[in-house]
């Protein structure tokens, strides 16, 4: 890499996790060494307009003012304005950013970028698709069922009978394609199941119904491309009944144990399963893998995988790597290097096909 690498930070976006992205991008911006990187801040509004802004630290008013860019900020028309970058760093959570859409755009442009590719991003975003793949690879996942909104509208009573038959209370209902615990309901009474599904369908056409696991919530950070490494695991101690959006980003009362107090054999199992999940979903760069450790059985379940995990000051992904000996600025250096590495490998493959 050159002495000063031009990094385009993509943040904001059209999803319900827009505000979380702003906080994550601000933390990334603060931890990118200005002696090594020149940062171009590209803000995507909730309406999908791309704008060059001073930084993610700007006020919401300053972020929203002014005209937007052409849809592709790296086009020939924009090159004379200094908008080109050496590598693009999406810090976009949820749909239209973490789901393969922006990654597809970057692939079409042929530019290096940080994180998973189109396939890994898409399946990592879709909780149903990822669970099907993880299950087929022999990894332990929590019992689940997918419900399409079209089926729900056609036969509400039948869906409710099926859900009540398969899942003991409490169980969870989630949108299939969203993160940061947005749209999730813990169902403790049968009469609340319909409202939980309606909530999930506000955010996606597909809902996930999942068995409730009583136990500990563990998280593990993964870093790498074809030879990924796992951090020490950590434990989340929710302030509320479960680790919901307010618990994560509003109340600031969540407890964290880093590293988690686990036996050596259980730590090794968490790390092994985290790497296995990363490889199964064909991920790259980074991911946070979340687990449940069931209290009664001692069984470990892979809950979900986040391909662009939170980078806020309280986020587990950078904190776990810091506890594993890789501080935030060095972690960002590594992620950027991995983005360049993957781009070079991709370019070699394309040239072979010609």
- Locate the domains of the chain by residue range: 5-113, 124-141+214-331, 144-211
Q: Is 17 considered catalytic here?
A: yes
Per-residue pLDDT of the chain (354 residues; tens, 9 = 90+): 457 999 999 999 998 889 999 999 999 999 999 999 999 999 999 999 899 899 999 998 999 888 777 656 666 555 555 577 999 999 999 889 999 999 999 998 889 999 999 999 999 999 999 999 999 999 999 999 999 999 999 999 999 999 999 999 999 999 998 754 678 999 999 999 999 999 999 989 999 999 999 999 999 999 999 999 999 999 999 865 654 545 554 556 678 999 999 999 999 999 999 999 999 999 999 999 999 999 999 999 999 999 999 998 789 999 999 999 999 999 999 999 999 999 999 876 656 555
124-141+214-331 has CATH 3.30.470.20 classification: yes
Catalytic site residue from 21, 310, 317, 333: 310
Alpha-carbon dihedral sign for residues 241, 247, 248, 254: negative
The verdict on whether omega for the bond into residue 172 sits within 30 degrees of 0, i.e. cis, is: no
Catalytic site residue from 86, 98, 217, 290: 290
Q: Is 310 considered catalytic here?
A: yes
Catalytic site residue from 249, 285, 317, 333: 249
Asked if 90 and 97 touch (Cβ cutoff 8 Å), the reply is yes
Q: Is 166 considered catalytic here?
A: no
Tell me if residue 97 falls in helix, strand or coil: coil
Q: For position 155, what pLDDT does the model report?
A: 97
Q: For position 65, what pLDDT does the model report?
A: 86
Calculate the CA 142 to chain-centre distance: 19
Say whether pTM exceeds 0.85: yes
Asked if 40 and 6 touch (Cβ cutoff 8 Å), the reply is yes
Asked if 20 and 92 touch (Cβ cutoff 8 Å), the reply is no
Query: Under 8 Å CB-to-CB from 127, ≥6 apart: which residues?
Result: 174, 176, 177, 208, 304
Q: For position 241, what pLDDT does the model report?
A: 61
Q: For position 313, what pLDDT does the model report?
A: 76
Q: For position 73, what pLDDT does the model report?
A: 60
Q: Is 304 considered catalytic here?
A: yes
Tens of pLDDT, residue by residue over 119-131, are: 999 999 999 999 9
- Output the DSSP codes for 206-228: EEEEEE---EEEEEEEEEESSS-
Asked if 141 and 134 touch (Cβ cutoff 8 Å), the reply is yes
The verdict on whether omega for the bond into residue 170 sits within 30 degrees of 0, i.e. cis, is: yes
Q: Is 249 considered catalytic here?
A: yes
Q: Which residue has the tokens 């092994």?
A: 272
Catalytic site residue from 126, 304, 317, 333: 304
Report how far residue 144's alpha carbon sits from residue 174's, in angstroms, rounded to the nearest whole number: 11
Helix ranges restricted to H, 206-353: 245-249, 264-280, 316-323, 328-353
Catalytic site residue from 21, 24, 180, 315: 180
Asked if 66 and 23 touch (Cβ cutoff 8 Å), the reply is no
Q: At what angle do helices 101-109 and 118-125 cross, to 10 degrees?
A: 170
Tell me if residue 109 falls in helix, strand or coil: helix
Asked if 4 and 86 touch (Cβ cutoff 8 Å), the reply is no
Tens of pLDDT, residue by residue over 244-271, are: 545 554 556 678 999 999 999 999 999 9
Report how far residue 206's alpha carbon sits from residue 151's, in angstroms, rounded to the nearest whole number: 10
Q: Could you tell me the two tokens for 89? A: 């760093």
Catalytic site residue from 15, 181, 231, 306: 306
Pick the CATH number of 144-211 from 3.40.50.740, 3.30.1490.20, 3.40.50.2300, 3.40.50.980: 3.30.1490.20
Is 21 buried (19+), middle (13-18) or exposed (0-12) by CB count in 10 A?
buried
In 3D space, the residue among 168, 113, 106, 111 whose CA is nearest the CA of residue 143 turns out to be 168
CATH class given for the domain over 5-113: alpha beta
Catalytic site residue from 17, 86, 204, 244: 17
Q: For position 109, what pLDDT does the model report?
A: 86
Q: Is 288 considered catalytic here?
A: yes
Q: For position 1, what pLDDT does the model report?
A: 46
CA angle 277, 278, 281 (to 5 degrees): 80
Report how far residue 241's alpha carbon sits from residue 258's, in angstroms, rounded to the nearest whole number: 21
């Amino acid at each position: 890499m050159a002495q000063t690498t031009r990094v385009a930070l993509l943040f904001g976006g059209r999803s319900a996790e827009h505000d979380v992205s702003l906080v994550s991008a601000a933390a990334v911006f603060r931890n990118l060494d200005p002696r090594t990187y020149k940062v171009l801040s590209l803000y995507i509004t909730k309406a999908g307009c791309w704008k060059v802004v001073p930084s993610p630290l700007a006020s919401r008013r300053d972020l929203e003012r002014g005209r937007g860019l052409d849809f592709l900020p790296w086009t020939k028309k924009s090159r004379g304005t200094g908008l080109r970058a050496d590598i693009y760093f999406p810090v976009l959570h949820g749909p239209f950013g973490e789901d393969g859409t922006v990654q597809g755009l970057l692939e079409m442009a042929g530019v290096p970028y940080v994180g998973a590719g189109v396939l890994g991003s898409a399946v990592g975003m879709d909780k149903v698709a990822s669970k099907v793949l993880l299950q087929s690879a022999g990894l332990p996942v929590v019992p689940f069922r997918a419900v399409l909104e079209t089926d729900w509208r056609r036969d509400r009573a039948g869906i409710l009978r099926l859900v009540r038959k398969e899942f003991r209370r409490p169980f969870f209902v989630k949108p299939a394609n969203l993160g940061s615990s947005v749209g999730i309901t813990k169902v403790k009474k049968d009469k609340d199941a319909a409202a939980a599904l309606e909530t999930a369908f506000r955010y996606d056409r597909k809902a996930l119904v999942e068995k409730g696991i009583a136990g500990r919530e563990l998280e593990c950070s993964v870093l790498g491309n074809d030879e990924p490494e796992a951090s020490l695991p950590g434990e989340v101690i929710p302030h509320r009944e479960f680790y919901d959006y307010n618990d994560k980003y509003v109340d600031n009362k969540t407890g964290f144990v880093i590293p988690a107090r686990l036996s050596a054999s259980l730590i090794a199992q968490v790390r092994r399963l985290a790497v296995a999940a990363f490889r199964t979903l064909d991920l790259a760069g980074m991911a946070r893998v979340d687990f449940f450790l069931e209290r009664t059985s001692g069984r470990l379940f892979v809950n979900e995988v986040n391909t662009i995990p939170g980078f806020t000051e309280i986020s587990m992904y950078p904190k776990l790597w810091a506890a594993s000996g890789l501080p935030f600025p060095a972690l960002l250096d590594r992620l950027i290097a991995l983005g360049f590495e993957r781009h070079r490998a991709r370019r070699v493959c394309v040239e072979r096909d010609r």
